[in-house]
Amino acid sequence: MKFNRTSAFLTAASVAATGLLLSMPAWAQEAAAAAEEPAAKGTSFLQVVFGGTPMDLIVWLMIFLTSLATLALIIDSCVCIRAVKIMPADLIETVKNSLAEGDLGAAMEACEATPGPLSNILMSGFNSITEGYDVVLDSVSSQASIETEKLMQRVNYLNLCGQLAPMFGLMGTVTGMVSAFGSLGTVKGAAQTAALAQSISSALYTTAVGLFIAVPAILGFTFIKNNASKIILMMEAMTYELINTLKNSEVKEQ
């Protein structure tokens, strides 16, 4: 019995060794083909972007457009939403001096020469000066709400970009994984590995790029919104301070 077991073991070992030796050339050839395939195609960022399906390309286009919109909105907000831009010091000084002298016409001319949110609010109050001080305050309050809404719309678009960017990234992840699993049933061998790498790379890249866009968009929205809120409060306070000089005072129109 011992001899039979030993013979059987030696026979099985011989068969396994023979099969291993015979299959080594085939394994080596397949490994070489798998190693050469990525080197030929590569997985660079441009190949990930343009090497996917048409749906993947559409997702990448949406992501790039969102990134451009985010950059443009941040620059636009930093340039336009500033106290010196919304509340020009020359306008405030001219209107203050004109109202102190009772010259409403000069104050209105200064507002017309310097258009902007503050000028629009002041003009709304000046145009209803004949209807009483309470009506002036109501007009100023209504116009201030309109100007505030206009100002905050620019900031809200930045918040929209911060929300859309990761959604587009998630969409790219889904389409990339669909392509990855679809390649399992249609592609074999080394080409299957390359197709999987392409699809998974596209899925991960879209997620990463979407988050990379969303982070500065949300940070920019937060800082710009806080700055805009501060400027709005300053503008409203300055408006009421200027309009308050009209109370119980005589003004002359030109």
pTM assigned to the model? 0.68
pLDDT of residue 135: 83
**Count of residues making up the chain:** 254
Q: Residue 245 has what DSSP assignment?
A: T
> What are the backbone angles phi and psi of residue 102, rounded to the nearest 5°?
80, 20
Q: Tokens standing for 181?
A: 């699993």
Per-residue pLDDT of the chain (254 residues; tens, 9 = 90+): 444 444 443 444 454 444 434 444 443 444 444 444 443 444 566 766 776 677 778 888 999 999 999 999 999 988 888 888 888 889 888 888 888 887 888 888 988 888 888 889 888 888 887 787 788 888 888 888 888 888 888 889 999 999 999 999 888 888 877 777 766 666 566 666 666 767 777 778 888 889 999 999 999 999 999 998 898 888 888 888 888 776 645 444 44
Which residue type, as a one-letter code, is found at position 37? E
Whole-number pLDDT of residue 194: 67
For residue 168, the tally of other CB atoms under 10 A from its CB is 25
Spatial separation of the C-alpha atoms in residues 55 and 58, rounded to whole Å: 5
Q: What is the pLDDT of residue 165?
A: 92
Per-residue pLDDT, 130: 78
| CB atoms near residue 225 (< 10 Å) | 17
- Tokens linked to 223: 């800082």
Q: What is the pLDDT of residue 179?
A: 72
